[in-house]
Structure formats: structure tokens, C-alpha cells
Amino acid sequence: MINVSKLKRGIVLDHIQAGQGYKIFTQLGLDKLDDVVVLMRNVDSSKMGKKDLIKIETDDLDLNLDVLGLISPTITVNYISDGVAVERKRLILPEKVKGILKCKNPRCICQSEDVGDITFTLVDAKKKEYSCEYCESRTSL
């Protein structure tokens, strides 16, 4: 069994759906950090069976929680200071997301004109479907 040491200061992304850890790793640009980052895949979990886990040893990192909630809504974000979890956030699918999703409708105005970041609204949480603010086309993750 691999033994990964306890963080003194940083962030632990826990309860990531198995197989989604690398996607989060790349979406957050963790490969570009100079800090220590550990990605563990298919870790045994009593609640989930298998899960992924990411440990980031850093003093300052601004995470996009909407991206995390979209990729893996079961995720828990733990902020660590002096080896102790000082704050814990459980994420859910966000109601609205801006600048993350792209409309798939080829006739949508956003495909032919620069409209900036598009806002999508959650319409079906079970299917992870969001609606475009311009054409109301549904986009699923």
C-alpha cells in the first residue's frame, strides 16, 4: 500500500468519483503548479466503493468550485492548516455556470457572434443538463 504523508498546509479534494480525478487535475491546471500535488486513483472508500483523491500542498490556490461541482458533484474540498482541516465544503451541481460550458446548437447566436461568456442554467440535475441563456438548448455534461 502506498503511504502519502499528511499535509501541513494546503487543499485536499476528496470524494471524487472514481475516474474523474485526472479530469479535475487537468481542468484546474494542477500540472502547471510548482507545488507538490498528489493524485490518487481508485482508492478504497467505504461510502463510494472506489474514489479518487487529490492533495495539493500550497499556501495560495484559487479553485473554481463551479468546475469541480460540474465534473464531480460528490466532491469535498478540505482546507488544511497546520495539519488540521480548518474548513470543509461539500459541492453540488451549481444552479448557474458562466464561461465554462459551450452551447452545442449550431444555430445559436453565440456560434456566429462574440457574445462573451455564456450563462447556463441547471434544468435537470439527474441528467446534469444545462440550458443556454440565448437559445435555451440543453447541454449535458
pTM (two decimals): 0.76
d(CA 59, CA 128): 33
Give per-residue pLDDT as tens, 9-38: 999 999 998 998 998 898 888 888 888 999
Spatial neighbors of 128 by CB under 8 A, at least 6 apart, are: 70, 93, 140, 141
Give per-residue pLDDT as tens, 110-120: 998 888 899 99
Q: Where are the beta strands (DSSP E) in 58-133?
A: 76-81, 84-90, 96-98, 119-124, 129-132
Name the β-bridge partners of 89: 77
